[in-house]
Structure 1
């Protein structure tokens, strides 16, 4: 498989996003990080980052953005990188299901904490600026981060973790062959 194919699969999966009822509706789960993760595991971290980049650029060009600027797409790109890089690191160090699970837990933690901080200092202020709305007061912003964004990303990470483990178990031999072929090239 190559970056183009995985990017295409990723953008299709991104279309099938869905909100989780207890969380704010702008937070949506999709499985588009799984192909990026497969790209990183089989072809290296740059391939995973490129899949994340291509899916977000294409989705922005196709769907547009509520703010006119790709704030959500930049946040999605950042979320994906925060998730896939720890998985890549631990999986390549241990090259086992144990390494994958340690990586998935680390990636979920990195994504949840990193996006909480980045939403607080960057993404949520950017949204309010580009939408032309009043900035959130400090208390409401902290509540949104602590009660919405942090638990959402932990839950999203757990869902993606479960899907990745199921996919990994079904295509493990193929993935190892792809990794071997990529390493030889």
Structure 2
């Protein structure tokens, strides 16, 4: 039992370290989205950990990763809060589905539902508090700077900013990012799972 716990802690620690690393690199914007929306893969190790060790382990990776990232925040912690909400809801949902049905079908179902949850939580966060917070905290209540940063969105103005931003940026960006992350998970999970199984056998000796 002790060896099993040690193995779990070891795997969680290593995946958390990867999640923190992926918070910073690779990290890049895409030209057809506002520059403050950046591709980063910090949820990838958490999803893998959730699939391999269960929802609680995956959730722990998200929480610890976020706490480590907080001192480096450039968004007054709001970006980290959103990442925490997206990470927890996505990882817990997909890992729970896979835990109940550890088959290819269960894995794909977890990824599909996890993708939907990811997009819904991201859109809800932007709609209910993220945009308003940035406008008030960073731009003294003026939305025009955000409009300028989102000028690649056709027809965007201060009056229609929220609807245009969600339709042309928040939804497609988070859909694209979640599909990429889950696709990579699908490609590498089996190899990592076999590696963890081999470690478990060694711990049992």
| TM band (smaller chain) | 0.7 to 0.9
Any stretches of 5+ residues in structure 1 without a counterpart? 181-185
Cα distance change of structure 1 residues 114 and 178 upon mapping to structure 2, 3 Å threshold: farther
**Aligned ranges for residues 105-116 of structure 1 at < 5 Å?**
105-116=112-123
Q: Is the 8 A contact 2:135 2:142 kept in 1?
A: yes
Report how far residue 172 of structure 1 moved.
3.4
* CA gap 1:172/1:2 in 2 versus in 1, 3 angstroms: closer
* Residue 14, structure 1, aligned to residue 14, structure 2: no
Contact kept in structure 1, 2:12 and 2:49, CA below 8 Å: yes
Q: Does 1:30 align with 2:30?
A: no
Residue 98 of structure 1: how far off its partner (Å): 1.8
TM-score (ref. length: structure 1): 0.85
User: Kindly tell me: are residues 81 and 138 of structure 1, through their superposed partners in 2, closer, same or farther at Cα, counting changes over 3 Å?
Assistant: farther
Partner residue in 2 for 1:5: 14
User: How far apart in 2 are the matches of 1:98 and 1:179?
Assistant: 25
Once the 2 structures are TM-superposed, how far is the Cα of residue 28 of structure 1 from its aligned partner?
A: 1.4
Alignment CA distance shift 1:72-1:40 (3 Å): same
Counterpart check, 1:87 vs 2:94: yes
Q: Distance in 1 between matches of 2:109 and 2:31?
A: 28
Q: Report 1:89-104 matches (<5 A).
A: 89-104=96-111
> How far apart, in 2, do the equivalents of 1:46 and 1:138 lie?
42
**Kindly tell me: are residues 18 and 102 of structure 1, through their superposed partners in 2, closer, same or farther at Cα, counting changes over 3 Å?**
same
The residue aligned with 1:172 is 193
How many angstroms does 1:39 deviate by? 2.2
Is there any run of 5+ residues in structure 2 with no aligned partner, and where?
1-9, 144-157
Is the 8 Å Cα contact of residues 42 and 179 (structure 1) preserved in structure 2?
no
Contact residue 46 and residue 58 of structure 2 kept, 8 A: yes
Whether the 8 Å CA contact 2:73–2:80 is kept in 1: the answer is: no
Q: Indicate the RMSD between aligned Cα atoms, in angstroms.
A: 2.4
Given candidates 169, 186, 189, the residue that maps to 1:148 is: 169
Aligned pairs, how many? 179
Given that 2:51 and 2:99 are in contact with CA atoms closer than 8 Å, whether structure 1 keeps it comes out as yes
Please identify runs of 4+ aligned residues in structure 1 that moved more than 3 A.
135-138, 174-180
